[in-house]
């Protein structure tokens, strides 16, 4: 996604457990995990560029729907989402030094699914694609056919709010002469 907006980058996975803090709302949990990811890499980096971390959470009725544990769990999640509107919260964090100084924010997008037939859910689950995705779907894949409406940032649903991030990076570059 960063390539789409012309941002050079290196991938450095954060070696952290993606655990949501006890008692945190799903929205705040996404921001917390994004900060943890960025900080874990920033303390190991000597590069002057900011380190980006992100985390996406699907929220239905105040409950975070994480990655499904198994196909049965994926079917259940998709069945709950069918015909309803849910929130996708993407936390973004940027850290820029070994002390992990930085900024973070959350972008919330409302996504409405159309009614789904059990056979559609079964076919999508059988593809294996829902198994590594929050809420058991990827809007950028064939689950796009499930989406009736998106209110907010489509790219935040995919996993990174590109418009807001690009504005931040432009300001960063101006401030730091990059």
Domains of the chain and any CATH numbers: 3-176 (3.90.950.10)
Give the per-residue pLDDT at 18: 76
Q: Are 139 and 111 in contact (CB under 8 A)?
A: yes
Q: Is the pLDDT of residue 150 over 90?
A: yes
Query: What pLDDT shows up at residue 174?
Result: 83
Q: What pLDDT does 98 receive?
A: 62
- Residues 106-128 have a mean pLDDT of 97
Residue 47: pLDDT above 80?
no
**10, 36, 55, 97: which is the annotated catalytic residue?**
55
DSSP string, 111-150: EEEPP--HHHHHHHHHTTGGGGSGGG--TTTGGGGGEEEE
Percent of the chain with pLDDT over 70: 97
Checking if the pLDDT of 86 tops 90, the result is yes
- Say what the pLDDT of residue 68 is: 96
pTM, whole model, 2 decimals?
0.89
In the annotation, is 61 catalytic?
Answer: no
Burial code (b: 16+ CB inside 10 Å, e: under 16) for 70-106 equals eeebbbbbbebbbeeebbbbbbbbbbbeeebebebeb
pLDDT of the residue at 123: 97
* Gap between the Cα atoms of 116 and 131, Å rounded: 18
Q: Locate 40 and state its tokens.
A: 């874990």
3-17, 30-44, 129-143, 160-174, range with the lowest pLDDT: 3-17
Q: What is the pLDDT of residue 44?
A: 81
- Better pLDDT: 97 or 79: 79
Give percent of the chain with pLDDT exceeding 90. Answer: 64
């Amino acid at each position: 996604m960063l390539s789409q907006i012309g941002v050079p980058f290196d991938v450095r996975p954060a070696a952290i457990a993606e655990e949501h803090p006890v008692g945190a709302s799903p929205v705040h949990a996404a921001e917390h995990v994004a900060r943890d990811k960025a900080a874990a890499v920033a303390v190991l980096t000597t590069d002057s560029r900011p380190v980006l971390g992100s985390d996406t959470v699907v929220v239905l009725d105040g409950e975070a729907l994480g990655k499904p544990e198994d196909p049965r769990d994926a079917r259940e999640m998709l069945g709950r989402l069918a015909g309803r509107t849910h929130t996708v919260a993407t936390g973004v964090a940027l850290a820029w030094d070994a002390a992990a100084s930085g900024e973070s924010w959350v972008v919330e997008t409302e996504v409405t699914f159309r009614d789904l037939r059990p056979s559609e859910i079964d076919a999508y689950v059988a593809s294996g694609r829902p198994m590594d995705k929050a809420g058991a779907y990827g809007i950028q894949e064939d689950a796009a056919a499930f989406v009736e409406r998106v209110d907010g940032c489509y790219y935040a649903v995919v996993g990174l709010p590109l418009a807001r991030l690009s504005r931040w990076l432009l300001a960063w570059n101006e401030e730091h002469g990059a």
